[in-house]
Amino acid sequence: MNKLISLFILSLLVINVFGKIGGKRVLVLLDEEQVKSTHSDFFDGLTKKGYELDFQKTDSKVQLQKYEDFLYDHLIILSVENDPTLTTNEILAFIDGGNNVIIAGSSIISETIRDVASDCGIEIEEDKTAVYDNFNFDKSQNDHSLLLADGLIKDSPIIVNNVKLPILFRGIGHKIRDNVLNYGILTASATAYSGKQSTKAAGKLQGKRVGLVSSLQARNNARVTFSGSLELLSNENLRNTKVSNKEFVEQLTSWTLQERGILRASDLSIVKVNPTSTDNNSSSTILLTVKDDIQYSLKIEEFQNGQWVPFVGKLQLEIICLDPYIRTFIQGNKQGLYQSTIQLPDVYGVFTFEGTVKVPGYGNLQSLVRHPIRPFRHDSYERFIPSAYPYYAASFSMIIGTFIFSIIFLLHRDSTKPTTSN
Amino acid sequence: MIYISKINIKNTKIKTKCTDKLLSIFIVIGIIVGCSIAESTTTTIKDFKITVGESKETLGNSKLVYEVAYGKKLSSSVDIPSNNVAKVVYKVNSNDKALVAQQASIRLYSLDGIDITIPMSYAQSEYSYTLSYKEIAKAFKSHSAEYTLEVIVSDSQLSTPIQWSVGTIKLNFAVQQSSPLSRYPEQKVISHLFRVPEARPSQTISTAFTGLVLAPSAIFVFGMLALGFNLSRFPTGMTFIYCTAFLASITAVTLLIIQYWISLTMVVTLRYLAVLLIPTLFFGQKTLSYLNSERPQLTKEKTN
């Protein structure tokens, strides 16, 4: 029972390191009041989902946290030409606390936002540049910077899925770092390039490496999305039925605001399959010995539509002591339960049982528990070795022989002697 | 370039004026014809050349030169050996005059998802790019494969930008292991290799030796039976009880030692032994002193 309670507390602690999931308080920073009306569809969509939007001008004094408590769960910064009163460190601390940020800019990006983006692995191109594509632009407007982008991220269907038409984009490009935490959600086509607005001449950043909308999913599951175009979210584009901006923006915002794809683990248990009598030492931790057969079990849930549902996937379990000694993949059942029987290695030491789920676009899940694996006790080895039977036979025959001899030696009377004495 | 822009201006001017259906049809035809004229007379790529050499210095003397005319395809794949360099050169001409386009690049893409567009540098009316493995290793993730080479030339003034698939080139990176292409590369299952127990002699040998070891005991038992024995000194009366208890204690100690061999640990055995020693000592003293009191008579008898 103690064992279960301690494991339960442990798993609770692990969860609390990550931010609160499902928070609804949003701070929206705007450069100009009119963005509220030109992007009203975007904000209405959020309000309908139950988000409480707090609109503030970029230059007004706002606080993200007070007494180490966050006042908001999400931050949305639209149009970032002016430096906000928030400092880079304040925004980064907000992200480090597990909260989410959406940033949409245009051709001029302030230093603060550049620093934040650069810390998130997103390197924004210089001011007064734009992404051009002389092949795939909106032909109806004859503006080569109005891109019809369809380079959606392929490995993470959880982020954007089922977006059939291209997405209208006009704005600044960026480069993302080659990193597992960074997601290039919308990239330009191979013929696009980032160039100065004055000359339209191509710069060094060209082709599919030109990021249009990118995200970072930090190790604490905080999600930061940067869009180089504010127009992407505007009413005009969201209402345009020839493009898929509406679907794209809806899916992107809900993913960024952690409405789905967050994982949590609970009910971790490691038990011996065949407990022996020496194991009943009534201590709270189980004593694992080399070569033991153990049953590992973990429950994994996924946050979806405001509730936790079982996550069915593949769990990677590694048993590590400096190096992974065992790595297996456990398939989860419908209840989100991952169970496997494993024989522990024949090496003793302090081992880490590391269960991880790695699915692109999903949050990080790492369930760590450390257990010592002990060597055999002096009496847990094989008791009788067949090769040593002569040795045992010698000992037993000696014991029994001595026993019989001593009794007879004590109680035997020579029958001949009494006769002679008589 | 000047020529195209003129056509464009003309067309747009007419477009704004026109209201009549017939006129508009006429103008549409005009635009199409204009476009086709613009295409045929405007931009072409000339002198496309790939030179492969061992280093940047020796590129000029290299004999490995692949040339291809605009619109055609390379007859075979260009293989660039590892640690070599390749120089891609082309000219962009518009009406036989060199043109500086807003974008002049080459694109290299493989079937497994690497897609890189590289800008060309412009000097002396030609575009060039020197490909060295060291510089592109990071962007290409050191992934050796066959890449399709495409030339991209575009300008907002050009009515139709150029995207020309030249052929394939083969990149051979020197490194053994390329960086993973997917976000979470598939990891292999690791299973622990248990130590193999040491080899042991066969069962028959140990059985034979067991027999040999037991032989003296057998000799002892048979010899004893042959010589004959009795338990005549077993006492009677009160001492009978002492002697029986003593024998029982010795039996118990013997059994305990056998049990120690089979399953008990040292600590437990010593604890039991300590308890058993008390009656053993007590009854042993009683029995042995009785037997000893009997012994002097025997010795006396002997001496007599």
Per-residue confidence (pLDDT) for residue B148, from 0 to 100: 93
Instruction: Decide: B143 and B173 in contact? Cβ < 8 Å.
Output: yes
Whether B116 sits inside 8 A of A207 (CB atoms) is: yes
Cα torsion through B53, B56, B57, B60, rounded to 10: 50
Residue B33 resides in a domain: no
What pLDDT digit, counting tens, does each position of B46-77 carry?
A: 888 899 988 888 888 888 888 888 888 888 88
Query: Does residue A32 sit in the same domain as residue A12?
Result: no
Residue A387 resides in a domain: no
Q: What is the mean pLDDT of chain B?
A: 82
Residue A414 resides in a domain: no
Distance between CA B35 and CA B133 in Å, rounded? 41
pLDDT at B269 over 90: yes
**What share of chain B in percent tops pLDDT 70?**
83
Looking at A226, A256, A286, the residue that finishes a domain is A256
Query: Does residue B101 sit in the same domain as residue B208?
Result: no
Nearest to A327 among B183, B187, B233 (CB): B187
Residue A67 resides in a domain: yes
* Nearest chain B residue to A290, by CA: B194
Nearest to B230 among A204, A329, A415 (CB): A415
Distance between CA A371 and CA A283 in Å, rounded? 14
Residue B22 resides in a domain: no
Looking at residue A360, which CATH number applies to its domain? Answer: 2.60.40.1930
Beta strands in chain B (DSSP E): 43-53, 64-68, 78-80, 85-94, 97-98, 103-109, 115-119, 121-123, 126-132, 145-154, 162-171
Q: Does A421 touch chain B (CB under 8 A)?
A: yes
Whether B233 sits inside 8 A of A396 (CB atoms) is: no
Looking at B171, B190, B224, the residue that finishes a domain is B171
Measure A414 CA to nearest chain B CA, in Å.
8
Measure B177 CA to nearest chain A CA, in Å.
17
Residue A395 resides in a domain: no
Whether B261 sits inside 8 A of A395 (CB atoms) is: yes
Query: Does residue A65 sit in the same domain as residue A178?
Result: yes
Q: Does A415 touch chain B (CB under 8 A)?
A: yes
Distance between CA B204 and CA A396 in Å, rounded? 20
Nearest to B233 among A390, A403, A411 (CB): A411
Looking at B126, B156, B171, the residue that finishes a domain is B171
Looking at A195, A230, A256, the residue that finishes a domain is A256
Residue A402 resides in a domain: no
Query: Does residue B93 sit in the same domain as residue B147?
Result: yes
Residue B3 resides in a domain: no
Query: Does residue A272 sit in the same domain as residue A201?
Result: no
Q: Which residue has the higher pLDDT, A188 or B304?
A: A188
Residue B21 resides in a domain: no
Per the structure, the complete domain to which residue B119 belongs is given by 42-171
Query: Does residue A171 sit in the same domain as residue A28?
Result: yes
Measure B93 CA to nearest chain A CA, in Å.
18
Per-residue confidence (pLDDT) for residue B302, from 0 to 100: 57
Looking at residue B97, which CATH number applies to its domain? Answer: 2.60.40
Of B112, B172, B120, B188, the residue nearest B150 (C-alpha): B120
On chain B, the residues whose CB falls within 8 A of the CB of A390 are 206, 209-210, 212-213
Per-residue confidence (pLDDT) for residue A75, from 0 to 100: 94
The torsion angles phi and psi of B207, rounded to 5 degrees, stand at -65, -45
Q: Does A334 touch chain B (CB under 8 A)?
A: no
Looking at residue A178, which CATH number applies to its domain? Answer: 3.40.50.880
Query: Does residue A66 sit in the same domain as residue A208?
Result: yes
Per the structure, the complete domain to which residue A302 belongs is given by 2-16+262-374
Q: Which residue has the higher pLDDT, A300 or B296?
A: A300
Q: What is the mean pLDDT of each run of 10 residues along chain A (422 residues)?
A: 58 53 88 89 93 90 88 89 86 93 91 93 93 88 87 90 90 91 93 90 89 94 93 91 92 93 91 70 68 92 90 94 94 93 93 94 92 86 86 91 90 64 41
Residue A88 resides in a domain: yes
Residue A386 resides in a domain: no
Distance between CA B247 and CA B93 in Å, rounded? 120
On chain A, the residues whose CB falls within 8 A of the CB of B234 are 411
Residue B208 resides in a domain: yes
* Nearest chain B residue to A327, by CA: B190
Looking at A210, A228, A256, the residue that finishes a domain is A256
Q: Which residue has the higher pLDDT, B153 or A278?
A: B153
Nearest to B102 among A202, A316, A400 (CB): A202
- Count of the separate structural domains present in chain B: 2
Q: Give the pLDDT band (50/70/90) at residue B123.
A: confident
Residue B25 resides in a domain: no
pLDDT at B87 over 60: yes
Query: Does residue A249 sit in the same domain as residue A180?
Result: yes
Q: Give the pLDDT band (50/70/90) at residue B29.
A: low
Residue A397 resides in a domain: no
Whether B103 sits inside 8 A of A132 (CB atoms) is: yes
The burial of A127, by beta-carbon neighbours within 10 Å (0-12 exposed, 13-18 middle, 19 or more buried), is given as middle
- The residue of B42, B112, B117 whose CB has the most chain A CBs within 10 angstroms, and thus the best one to mutate to test that interface, is B117
Looking at B118, B147, B171, the residue that finishes a domain is B171
Residues A20-52 as b/e (b if ≥16 CB within 10 A, e otherwise) read ebebeebbbbbbeeebeebbebbbebbeeeebe
Query: Does residue A98 sit in the same domain as residue A220?
Result: yes
Query: Does residue B259 sit in the same domain as residue B141?
Result: no
Residue B230 resides in a domain: yes
* B 3-22 residues inside an 8 A Cβ radius of A: none
On chain B, the residues whose CB falls within 8 A of the CB of A412 are 229-233
Q: ipTM score of the complex?
A: 0.77
Query: Does residue B160 sit in the same domain as residue B68?
Result: yes
Query: Does residue A76 sit in the same domain as residue A118?
Result: yes
Query: Does residue A233 sit in the same domain as residue A196?
Result: yes
Contacts of residues B291-300 at CB distance under 8 Å and 24 or more positions apart, as own/partner, are B291/A410, B291/B233, B291/B235, B294/B233, B298/A417
Tell me the CB-side half-sphere exposure of residue A370, using CA atoms within 13 A.
4
Place of tokens 């954007």: A160
- Count of the separate structural domains present in chain A: 2
Per-residue confidence (pLDDT) for residue B11, from 0 to 100: 46
Query: Does residue B249 sit in the same domain as residue B152?
Result: no
Both tokens of A11, joined, read 């798993």
Q: Does B262 touch chain A (CB under 8 A)?
A: yes
Query: Does residue B231 sit in the same domain as residue B135?
Result: no
* Nearest chain A residue to B219, by CA: A401
Count of pairs with CB atoms under 8 A, one residue in A, one in B: 172
Residue B184 resides in a domain: no
pLDDT at B250 over 60: yes
Whether A324 sits inside 8 A of B190 (CB atoms) is: yes
| C-alpha distances in Å from residue A207, one per residue of A105, A289, B118 | 21, 57, 8
